[in-house]
Structure 1
Amino acid sequence: MTSDRPMRADARRNYERLLAAAAEVFAKEGTNAALDDVARYAGIGNATLYRHFPTRQDLVEALLTDRYDDLRATAERLLADRDPRAALITWLRSFITHMTTYRGLAASVMTVLRDPETELSASCKGMQAAAATLLAHAQESAVIRPDLTVDELLRLTNGVAIAAEGNPDETARLLRLLTEGLYHGCDSA
């Protein structure tokens, strides 16, 4: 919910309770969980939920904006790492963790991101720009292949997250296979 007016204290508390409940319910049941369950888990009526979040996309957007901002900040912090390849892989692990927090997240996010006017879209663009800088740093250090774009990297990493959702061992293996293919000097397909 975005507004030029600050929220009353009780409205702010309800908003925060709804976000916390959505995080819990979506983690257990996926992003397609019933919104009634979110309201019930928060101990708040449906009308209050829909006053704050008129659509599922509004709720997903509010829940994920901070996460994209955190990914952006993580990428910016990792730029100082002495090993640009390790820094990039650390960030990719963070990205996968984000993408696998809630079942069905990728599809929900794609729906929201189609509207470039959303707060989530702006937050995602900031995260992508920071990831591009981190990737460029690794490429300039000649440890990551120079022909890789940030869009390709994010799509590949998102594919790993979707393919191995719910299986940490498989996620680790697929990420390792992916990152081994990113080494500078490996044969291009």
Structure 2
Amino acid sequence: MRADAKKNYSHILTVAHEVVTEHGADASMRDIARQADVGLATLLRHFPTREALFEALLCTNLDALTQKADELEASNSPDEALLSWFREWMAFAQSYRGVVAMMAAAHTNPDSALYASCAAVHSASARILLRAQAAGKARTDMNGDDLFGLMSALGWLVDLPSFAPRADHLVHIIASAILTQSEN
């Protein structure tokens, strides 16, 4: 990539992050281009779809989230790892309004630009759950799909302004329903 194209790419991502943080995942591509002071064609050359833009925006954060799962698996007790994973997920979900619904749809769609990153988060969730189940710390009548669904539902719920202040409380309630022998 040429130096000026690389600079445009970075600038567009910075502006897109600001716009999405303020207006959510439904932010207009045209508004992002306008605020980045580039033409819509320039934006679309770098990011031909909304999902491609979100993949670029989210990739670093999703990779960090997946790496955090690896750290939790290695360093925490299984029940603490699961509870910490929920909290990490919520922090991520709250950093981009409207992204959870997009991720929930993408994690089973191999054609989605977000598929690989979402599948990695789903897989990490399943591993953390399996570890807690194997240790007798989590209910055994659920699987990774159930956990990802609960995490997505909770992420969507706290995306609503009336529920955002209750995020920690809601995490505690759901974790208490999953964990079988924990003082969370």
- Classify the TM-score, shorter chain: 0.7 to 0.9
Match of 2:24 in 1: 30
C-alpha displacement of 1:103: 2.4
Work out whether residues 18 and 42 of structure 1, in 8 Å CA contact, stay in contact via their aligned partners in 2. yes
C-alpha displacement of 1:168: 3.6
1:172 aligns with 2:175: no
Relative to structure 1, is the Cα distance of residues 139 and 113 closer, same or farther in structure 2, using a 3 angstrom cutoff? Answer: closer
1:131 aligns with 2:125: yes
Partner of residue 58 from structure 1, selected from 41, 52, 59: 52
The code of the aligned residue for 1:73 comes to: Q
Match of 1:184 in 2: 180
C-alpha displacement of 1:100: 2.5
SS at match of 1:181: helix
Range with greater deviation from structure 2 (37-46 or 106-115): 106-115
Q: What is the distance in 2 between the residues matched to 1:43 and 1:71?
A: 31
1:70 aligns with 2:64: yes
Partner of residue 143 from structure 1, selected from 121, 137, 140: 137
Unaligned runs of 5+ in 1: 1-6
1:90 aligns with 2:90: no
Unaligned runs of 5+ in 2: none
Work out whether residues 143 and 183 of structure 1, in 8 Å CA contact, stay in contact via their aligned partners in 2. yes
The code of the aligned residue for 2:154 comes to: V
1:79 aligns with 2:93: no
C-alpha displacement of 1:45: 2.4
TM-score by length of 2: 0.87
Range with greater deviation from structure 2 (68-77 or 41-50): 41-50
Work out whether residues 72 and 128 of structure 1, in 8 Å CA contact, stay in contact via their aligned partners in 2. no
Per-residue displacement from partner, 1:122-167 (whole Å, max 9, x unpaired)? Answer: 1221222222211111112211112221111111121112222244
Per-residue displacement from partner, 1:27-73 (whole Å, max 9, x unpaired)? Answer: 10011112222123323222211111122222122222222222211
Partner of residue 122 from structure 1, selected from 116, 122, 132: 116
SS at match of 1:175: helix
Q: What is the distance in 2 between the residues matched to 1:61 and 1:36?
A: 18
Q: What is the distance in 2 between the residues matched to 1:67 and 1:23?
A: 12
Relative to structure 1, is the Cα distance of residues 134 and 112 closer, same or farther in structure 2, using a 3 angstrom cutoff? Answer: closer
C-alpha displacement of 1:169: 2.7
Q: What is the root-mean-square deviation in Å for CA atoms of aligned residues? A: 2.1
Identity %: 34
Per-residue displacement from partner, 1:159-186 (whole Å, max 9, x unpaired)? Answer: 1122222444311111111011112269
